[in-house]
Structure formats: structure tokens, C-alpha cells
Amino acid sequence: MATLLTGLVVDSLINNYDKANEAMWRKEDLAHRRQERQWRIDDLQRELEWRLQDIRTERVHKKIANEQRQAETRNEHLSAISEISAELSGFALVSIININLPRDIDLTLLWVYGVASALTICCMVLSLLACTFLMLAVTRYCAHELETDVKQLEDAHIDNSHPFNRWWLAKCEVDWQLAYDLFRAGVTLFLVELAIVAWVQYNHYHITSISITMVAFVGFMIWHSRIWSKWRYLMHRPTVDRILDENTPLMQNRTHDPDRPC
């Protein structure tokens, strides 16, 4: 009888011990599962953060490349104006140096020719210098400031904000307008100089002088009535900090507008 009771007590103790161990193992298993779940959540959060960082980095790189393309386009505009200004100022300077003045030249006509030539050279040289310094400014901004300005943009503004456009409007737009106005005035004065130099160089050949003057007048009319009047909208100051693409309704209307020059 005592042996039976002892066996029951031992079995009871063993069962209680097993149950305690089972409960403890269950708790440890649940804790481990919670820990594994937390680890998975942390991994997913880290992957999401890394993915978002990768997406932002890719968007920033594309934005920088797009802004640099805009800067390169602006530099091409400035370079074209600079080259034409240099050529026209060189032509005007050569005409002053190589001209053969008749002995009986009208001094008033000579004065007008000299003033027109000097104004042509000054306008073209000033336009050349302005465009050159603008190109230097654009290069410096792209090399030292553009990347920082793009990286400081918030995610919601990366697609709609254009740092180079804002910088250009704030720092360079006025000087660009001045350079282009000087260039336009220089082209006009160059045609006027062409008309005047005919009467200075060919003072005794009126038919030749009249013919050259008429050619210069036709060029003057084409420049103002056809070229400048058609493309002067390109010089209008931008009013929004947003570059339109072909998917915007406004751009689609412009694309199909028959009155817009092409």
C-alpha cells in the first residue's frame, strides 16, 4: 500500500513537472514566435525604407540629369548668340579698318557711318560678354549648387519644382534679356551700317549704292517682320516654375494650335 501511494505521489510529481516544463516551453515558444514576427516586421520595414531610399535616389538622379539638360540647352542658346555676336562685330570692325574713303566724302555721312559702326561693335561685344559670363555662371551653378538644391527638395516637389529654372529667373534672366536686346539692336545696326557703307564706299556709283541700300532694307524688313516678330515669344519671361510636357492639357492645346508659329 505504501509502495502504491509512493508511486502515485511520484507520478503526480512527474506529471506536474512535465506540465510545468510544457507550460514553460510553450511560453518560450510563443515568445520566440513573437520575436521572429518582430524580426520579420523589422526586416520588412528596413526593406521598405531601403526601397524608398532607392526610389528617392533614382528620382534625384533623374532630376539632376533633367536639370543638367536644361542647363546645357541654355548654354547652347548663349553660345549661339555669342558666336553670332562675335562674327558680326568682327565684320563691322573689318569694314571700318579696310574701307577706302573717297577724298570728297561727305563728313556728315562719314560721321553717321562711324557712329553706326561703333554702336554695332559695342552692342555685339557687350552681348558677347554678357552671354559669356552667363555661361560661366550656369557652369558654376551646375558644378557646385545644383545637386545640393535638388537633394533638398521634398519628395512631393521633385517632379514639380525646377531648381535651375528658379535660379535662372532669380540670377540670370534680367542679364539674358539685356544680352538679347543688345544682340537684336546690333543686328539692326549692322543692317543700317551695310546701307550706309554703300554710300561711303561707292559714293560715285549711285546705282550700286542704291542697290546695296535696297538689299539692306529688304534684310531689315525680313528681320523685323518675319524673323523677330515670329520668334520673339521665345524671349518672354517664364511665369510658372513648371515645365510642361506633352501629357498636360495646355501643351496639347499648344500642339494643335494652328496660329502658333512652327
Number of folded domains that form the chain: 1
Q: Is residue 249 one of the residues assigned to a domain?
A: no
Which structural domain range is residue 138 located in? 56-184
Predicted pLDDT at 118:
92
256 domain residue, yes or no: no
pLDDT of residue 104: 77
Q: What string of pLDDT tens digits covers the 262 residues of the chain? A: 667 667 666 677 777 777 777 788 888 888 888 888 888 888 888 888 888 888 888 888 898 999 999 899 899 989 999 999 999 999 888 888 887 777 777 888 889 989 999 999 999 999 999 999 999 999 999 998 988 888 888 888 888 888 998 999 898 989 999 999 999 999 999 999 989 888 888 777 888 888 988 999 999 899 888 888 787 777 766 554 444 444 443 334 434 444 444 3
pLDDT at site 260: 46
Q: Judge whether 130 lies within some domain.
A: yes
| CA distances (Å), origin 83, targets 14, 109, 124, 192, 250 | 101, 30, 10, 21, 34
Residue 127 included in any domain: yes
Query: Is 199 within a domain?
Result: no
Say if 156 falls within a structural domain.
yes
Residue 213 lies in a domain: no
pLDDT (0 to 100) of residue 159: 82
pLDDT computed for residue 239 by the predictor: 54
Domain annotation covers residue 252: no
